[in-house]
Amino acid sequence: MRRTLVTAALAIALVAPVAAPAQSAPDDPHVATQESLDALRSDWTAPGGVVVAGDRDDEWTVSSGTAAIGQDRPITATDKFRVGSLTKTFTASIVLQLVDEGEVDLDEPIETYLPGVVQGANDGTEITVRNLLQHTSGIPDYLQIERMLDPRNQFRPHTLAEIASWGLEKPSEFEPGTEYRYSNTNYIVAGMLIEKVTGRSYDQELNDRIIGPLGLTDTYLPEPQHKQLVGPQVRGYFGQQFAYLDVTELIEPSMGLSGGGIVSTGADVAAFMQALADGTVVPRPLLPEMRTPNDLPGSAPKYGLGVDEFELPCGGVAYGHYGIWPGYQTIAAATDDGRHAFVGMNVLNFADGSAGMSGREILGRANTMVTALCDNG
C-alpha cells in the first residue's frame, strides 16, 4: 500500500498539534505501562496510543495522546480500531474448530478441500492446511504485488477468490514446510477453506462461532465498500511530526477479509485472546497444536497456527498476534494464568521504514505489551 498512500499524502495534508503524552501520577498503579506506552508513542510519532490489560479479576486501561487529531480525547477500551492481522488468530481458531469437528485435517493437502484453487505456480497437492496457518506454504503475499498497489483495486469490492489469485499466480517462494515466510495470501485461502467446508460465508462463521458466543459486541467484519467505522472509534493516520493524513476510510475494507479485515476494540480483542488461552474458543486438546512453533528459518520461528509466542520478563509466556492496517498498529496476547493485554496506536508511517516491518517488531520495540502483561500494579 506504500505507493498509494504516499501519492495520497502528497495530495492531502492535515497539519495539527498532537496532545502531549499523559503524565503518570505518583500513585498511578501502572506507572511502568504508562511510561512504556508514552515512549512507544513518541518513538513512532503517533497521535495516540492505548493499553487495555488485566487478569480474571480486574481490567485496566492506560492511554496516551488522542484518538483523533484536533480533539482532547484519550483512547478508551471500547474505541474501535482496524486490527489488521489480529484477524488471523480468529481465522485460525475457526479452522481448528473445524478440525475438532472432523471436517478438516491439518496435514491434508489444501487440494482436498479446494480442488483446482492452488495450482500452477503453487502446488495445492503439496501445501497442507497446517502450512497455510503456519506461513510455511511458500505462497507469495498478495499485499506485496502490483495489483495491491493499484489505486483502482483499492476502491472497489473484492472476493476471497480474487484476492487469493493475486498471490497464487506468482511462483512459490520455497518448498512447502521448509521455511517460514509471512504471507497474507495463506489466510485468504484459509477463509476460502472455511467457506467451502461449511457452505457458509466467512463472515457468518466468524459471527456464529466467535463473535456471538463470546459477546464481542464491538467486533465485526465490515461489508465491502463500507469504509466508515461504526460507533466510537480511533482515527487512523499516515504521517509523522505535525503533518498527518487521516486514512481511516481510505482503503477498501475487502482488501483484508479473513487475513486482516476485522474491526474491534481493545476490550473485545483482550477478551478473545483470554478466551482462546482458556480453551473456550479452540478446544483445549488442540491448543498445543496451535502453539507448536514452526522452528524453521525465518523471522518468527515461534509462530504456530495463527499465534506467536512471547516470552515474558516476569516469567512465563503469552500467545497472541500483531496487526497492521493503514493508520493502525495493534498487538495482543494472553497467558494461561489469566493475564491479557492489547496495545494499539493510530499511525502507520512509511518514511521511517515502519511499514516494512511486522506489527510485532513495531510495537515490540518498546516492549509495551509484555510490560503490561507483567504489570501487577
d(CA 101, CA 73): 45
Name the phi and psi angles at 251, rounded to 5. -95, 135
Say if residues 309 and 293 touch (Cβ distance below 8 Å).
yes
Set of cell numbers at residue 102 = 472432523
Task: Count CA atoms closer than 13 A to 166's CA, side-chain side.
Answer: 21
From first CA to last CA, the distance across the chain in angstroms is 40
Q: Which among 36, 63, 64, 85 is annotated as catalytic? A: 85
d(CA 324, CA 329): 5
Neighbours of 127 (CB within 10 A): 24
Cβ-Cβ contacts under 8 Å for 227 (sequence gap 6 or more): 248, 249, 250, 251, 252, 253
What is the H or E stretch that residue 333 is in?
Answer: strand 328-334
d(CA 147, CA 352): 24
Sign of CA dihedral 140, 351, 368, 247: negative
Taking CA 287 as the corner, what is the angle to CA 296 and CA 328, rounded to the nearest 5 degrees?
A: 70
Neighbours of 301 (CB within 10 A): 13
Residue 307 is classified by DSSP as -
d(CA 96, CA 292): 13
Place of cell 511462483: 171
Active site residue 64: no
For the chain, count helices (H), then strands (E). Answer: 14, 11
Sequence letter at residue 218: D
Angle formed by the axes of helices 184-198 and 87-100, nearest 10°: 40
Q: Are strands 317-325 and 243-246 parallel, antiparallel or unpaired?
A: unpaired
Taking CA 354 as the corner, what is the angle to CA 353 and CA 356, rounded to the nearest 5 degrees?
A: 75
Catalogue the active-site residues: 85
